[in-house]
Structure 1
Amino acid sequence: MLRPTLLVLIGVFMVFGCSSDNSLSSETEPDLTDDVNIGTGEVTLGQTPCQGGTASIYPCNGYDLLFQMDLDAFAGGEGNDIWGWTDTVNSREYALIGLDNGTAFVDITDTTNPVYLGKLLTATVSSGWRDVKVYGNHAFIVSEAANHGIQVFDLTKLRNVTDPPQLFTEDARYTGIGNAHNIVINEDIGFAYPVGTARNDDFNGGVHFIDIQNPTSPNEIGGYGDNGYTHDAQVITYSGPDTDYTGREIFIGANEDQIAIADITDKASPTEIATLGYGNIAYTHQGWFTEDHRYFILGDELDEIMFGFNSRTLVFDMSDLDNPVLHTTYIGPTSAIDHNGYVLGDEFFLANYTAGMRVLDISDIENQSITEKAFFDTYPSNNTARFDGVWSVYPFFESGKIIINDINSGFFVVQKSN
């Protein structure tokens, strides 16, 4: 979702302040007392197949509901980002659920008996913007909350929760940044990249380079801000068709009014590769590479509002990173705003706000053919262009479970229908 300062300009949300310092803390600022309400983790709706186009009240096609927990289950006011973690020791699967006032952790291994293990409260104050990613066995959490920094949480603690839900504490907190809109992690090399920080910081609100190979001792060693503020990004170890960059660490940023591509392999001397625009730019929001690194699939968060067309997804051909070009454009069946999207194999999983999760078939993307093959709509009221409904999805569990976080109605787990 858009940074708060920009949402204020269109009359949607309130502004949160931002600041920055340079220290590492293991303390959280809220008063973690025994009477803090963290919710009970009750399941709102259990396993419900998609039959006749609905699963209970939720429109669907091709996906069954395994269970749903509403926001009250976690004592949260709004949902936001979501990510997942699979414990390599015992193969258990966990959802890491972003809320306005913290992060909730749910064991989803047995979907007939999901377990809400507990909650990590926000580091400072509540905020509608929170983002979480994983490196190894640690979660890294940022927020637009003032002075929040990066919370580091050891996920192996989830193995031994005996009396859930618990009120968790962070294992470290990096405060070399204040607020951040998102955090990106390249697991190949153990670096985290918070983006969307204060626009007046050393990197213009661009990207910070933080070594997290020792997860509880993050160490910033530079950054890149030549293209200004970065709203969201992906960082990959490149293995695509442009052999000039094979094995290089490539940053691709959604920078509000352009896509910015840079080689950040040398952290002391990152270099711009290219910048790229497109027609009807409203707010360049977020994108994801196909697995072969040939195409980059991008969403613009305000184009539906500004220009009045249905959900638009843009596909760029990255065969030549120095000269990327628009390859094709997919227009969805509703006017809902597109948000975060992720690629798994030949499918693109799109969080489409009021239209829910949409699953696009990209198997024939080379021939400019993209089709919708399935969906699960967690916001049945309407499909209009507004900031309600699904914030994000996580499709990367080997079990095939898809976890969804809805701003209004909470946490969903779905799976392909048999």
Structure 2
Amino acid sequence: MCGRRVGQDYKIGFYLKTAKPGQDKKHLPKAEASQARDKSETYIIEYRPAMVRFASVAVVGSAMAGVASVAIAGSKADYQSGAVHAHIMARKMEHWKEEEQAGLMNSAQYPELGYTPCVNGFAAAIPGDSMNTFRCRNVDLYHFLPHTALGSSVGRGSSSWGWTSADGREFVVVGQMDGAAFAEITQEGKLSYLGRLPPYSVPNMWREIRVVNDLVVIGSEALGHGVQFLDLKKLLTLDPARPKTFAQSDLTGYWNGLPSGRAHNVVVNEERNYAVAVGAVGADARGQMIRPHDLPCGGGLIFLDISDPANITSPGCAGGDGYVHDAQCLVYRGPDARYHGRDICYGYNEDTLTIYDVTDKTGNVTNIISISDYPGATYVHQGAVNNDQWQEYLFLDDEYDEEFATVGPMARGLTTTHIFDIRDLEKPVYTGQYAGKTRGNDHNQYMHDGFLYQSNYGNGLSVLDVASVTSDPTGAGICEAGRFDIYPEDDEEVGGGRVRTSGTWSSYAKFQSGFILVHTIERGTFVVKMTSKECEKPASCSADNCMRALRASHIPGRLEESQQFCWDFTRRLNKDATKVPEYAAKACGSDPVQRVSSACACIPAPTVPVMTRTDTFRYWPTLYPTPTAS
């Protein structure tokens, strides 16, 4: 069981009051407290009850019978207290500090790259340069610009989104540590930098971006940041020869009713025209973290009425399941007739998938439809339904199961996408998973026209054909239609990648032109385009002498030796005939490279070994370091 209380009020939710240094800690009106912005203020927490309603007793528990609901990275109490969240944040910052010290965060070192086709599995943007040669399939590179060419003095990319104007022009908004950059994608697929919006707060790696109609919504973990709103039609008249830095006065709207002005993510419902701030945690004047369950709304869903962008208000929040890391909020259309037409939010809540009915956004009442978990749940991060017009299945990524889970393909560090049957919203069923071929963390994924576009950190962009899930929800029929690996630095690692938070943070694939934005942490922004959406077909194999030599089952260990050789050999752009083993060179004749390559396509790939775990969950200090622009 998930440990939620059913059949009685589940009271959480808090009222924030402030007192300035030297003043008595007097109570302030709620509206005044929520708008207070003095960074020297001390935050005082007062308990205020809230109501949580569950759809039924039966829905509270594991989505898979017999599976314990306590996630791998920590106990239930660790998630509820915010300890796991603090661990994840600090772990990432520690890794990014290592990258900075290694020089990887200096985006000026990465050159601008032009159109490069994907040929035989590689896009060699700079021939002979392994750091600018990208593994690929069915995806061509059109353009790359480093963060420095997109106006940033610091770089360190994060979220991104796209916008198409009424006349069909295509624009991107990309997050960086020192703000958000705006660029247009030309008809040739090139990025044309137009300007930027600074944070007008402290720099911070976490900057999340969404677009609703013509309005961009920008949130951040930065103290005092709030939620920024800008009318993107302002981009239409900008001159790329004179990029514009938007002032605070240029903002169409601004809302700062967040604890400490920070939120981990922002979400929008385009159809109903509202926004949601999620994961709003806080820190006091000393930088000491305030636990999510000691905050207004518990770090849950905070609804924003944006019908008048110049006067944004919050009608209420839903904090009944605590911290929400990300969410997808949609008008429900699907087989569960009880909820047809209602506002539903699918919450990715660190250790569970939590489905909310948010039709009533007023007050501080949480209506929870169901709470579900799955084997190896570690850090439930983000996800997407298979079809927002008919919501039957949901794809979920767990950011840290590849690192900590010891079950399923996650134990080998393989990027794993989890699948839920949500045809009964009150009783979701965990049906299976899809595992990638290489090691790496998954991060963000979005559906478009039946394909799932994933940004999987060091593995780059992966495009999955998930149409089969409605007939086979185990995931066995899912296949990869395309890929573009934007992080060659880890390609030589065991398992073909590294389980670390390097590489791509996000992607956007909804442009009518077919151009896909892939935004990265270290380098900058890629524009790519698919040439085909066909999955790989099984190789046509014939048992000739070359094949027999590689398989040679009568020789102990020969198949395993050939598997490892083929794995290494076929992953090389320039295949060296001298690397072909003598037994294969003799059997494969006068053109060993070509014949061995063909034969290797018929040799099963070696099994990626179970990953050695050298780190376990640790209690990190509760201080959130404030990043600097150095």
The equivalent of 2:465 in structure 1 is: 361
Return the match for 1:314 from 418, 426, 434. 418
Does residue 409 in structure 1 map to residue 505 in structure 2?
Answer: no
How far apart in 2 are the matches of 1:324 and 1:220?
Answer: 30
Shift of 1:123: 2.5
2:86 corresponding residue in structure 1: 5
Q: Note if contact 1:49-1:417 (Cα within 8 Å) is conserved in structure 2.
A: no
Deviations 1:147-173 (A, max 9, x none): 110011111110111343111123332
Q: Which of 126, 129, 142 is the matching residue for 2:219? A: 142
Equivalents in 1 of 2:469, 2:189: separation in Å? Answer: 37
SS in 1 for 2:439: coil
Bigger shift: residues 94-103 or 194-203: 194-203
User: Structure 1 residues 326, 113: CA separation in 2 closer, same or farther (over 3 Å shift)?
Assistant: closer
Equivalent pair of 1:125/1:145 in contact (CA under 8 Å):
yes
**1:122-160 CA-partner distances (Å, limit 9, x unpaired):** 130111100011111111100000111001111111011
Equivalent in the alignment of 2:161: 83
CA distance in 2, matches of 1:187, 1:346: 19
* 1:362-416 Cα shifts (integer Å, max 9, x gaps): 0111213211121001101112100100101111111111101011111011101
The answer to whether the 8 A contact 1:78-1:99 is kept is yes
Deviation at 1:266, TM superposition (A): 1.1
Question: Given the alignment of the two structures, is residue 380 of structure 1 paired with residue 493 of structure 2, yes or no?
Answer: no
> Once the two structures are superposed, what CA deviation does each residue of 1:216-273 show, in whole Å capped at 9, x if it has no partner?
3211000001001000111000001111110000011111111111100011344110
Name the CA shift for 1:14/1:203 in 2 (closer, same or farther; >3 Å): farther
Structure-2 separation of matches of 1:229 and 1:14: 24
Q: 1:370 aligns with which of 478, 482, 500?
A: 478
Residues 1:298 and 2:376 are matched in the alignment: no
Report the alpha carbon displacement of residue 73 of structure 1 after superposing the two structures with TM: 1.1
Q: C-alpha distance in 1, partners of 2:367/2:447?
A: 26
Amino acid at match of 2:438: T
Structure 1 portions without partners, runs of 5+: 16-38
Identity %: 36
Partner of 1:23: none
The equivalent of 1:195 in structure 2 is: 278
Counterpart secondary structure, 2:225: coil
Between structure 1 and structure 2, the one with the greater Rg is 2
Aligned ranges for residues 19-418 of structure 1 at < 5 Å? 44-56=112-124, 57-74=133-150, 75=152, 76-88=154-166, 90-111=167-188, 113-162=190-239, 163-169=241-247, 170-177=251-258, 178-198=261-281, 199=292, 200-268=294-362, 269-291=365-387, 292-307=390-405, 308-309=411-412, 310-366=414-470, 367=472, 368=474, 369-382=477-490, 383-417=497-531
Asked whether the 8 Å contact 1:283–1:303 carries over to 2, the reply is yes
Distance 1:258 1:417, change over 3 A: same
C-alpha separation in 2, matches of 1:318 and 1:332: 23
**Superposed CA RMSD:** 2.0
C-alpha contact (below 8 Å) 2:265/2:278 kept by paired residues: yes
> Aligned residue for 2:27?
none
Question: Residues 80 and 406 of structure 1 are in contact (CA less than 8 Å); yes or no, is this contact kept in structure 2?
Answer: yes
Which amino acid in the other structure matches residue 49 of structure 1?
Answer: P
2:498 partner amino acid:
T
CA-to-aligned-CA distance 1:311-347 (integer Å, 9 cap, x gap): 1110100000000001221111111000000111221
Question: Bigger shift: 384-393 or 301-310?
Answer: 301-310
> Does the CA-based 8 Å contact 2:95-2:501 persist in structure 1?
no
Asked whether the 8 Å contact 1:130–1:142 carries over to 2, the reply is yes
Q: Is 1:146–1:179's contact at 8 Å kept on the other side of the alignment?
A: yes
Amino acid at match of 1:64: D
Structure 2 Cα separation of the partners of residues 71 and 264 of structure 1:
38
Q: TM-score of the superposition, structure 1-length normalised?
A: 0.90
| Alpha-carbon shift at residue 10 of structure 1 (Å) | 3.9
* Contact kept in structure 1, 2:189 and 2:515, CA below 8 Å: no
Number of matched pairs: 392
Cα–Cα, structure 1 residues 118 and 203, in superposed 2: closer, same or farther, change >3 Å? same
- Partners of 2:415 and 2:190 lie apart in 1 by 36
Shift, 1:8, TM fit: 4.8
Helix, strand or coil for the counterpart of 1:156? helix
| Counterpart residue identity of residue 153, structure 1 | L
Structure with the higher helix share, 1 or 2:
2
Give the aligned residue type for 1:189: R
| Residue 52 (structure 1) shift | 1.9
Distance in 2, matches of 1:123 and 1:317, equals 43
Q: Is the 8 A contact 1:116 1:164 kept in 2?
A: no
Aligned equivalents of 1:342, 1:8: Cα separation in 2: 23
Greater strand percent: which structure? Answer: 1
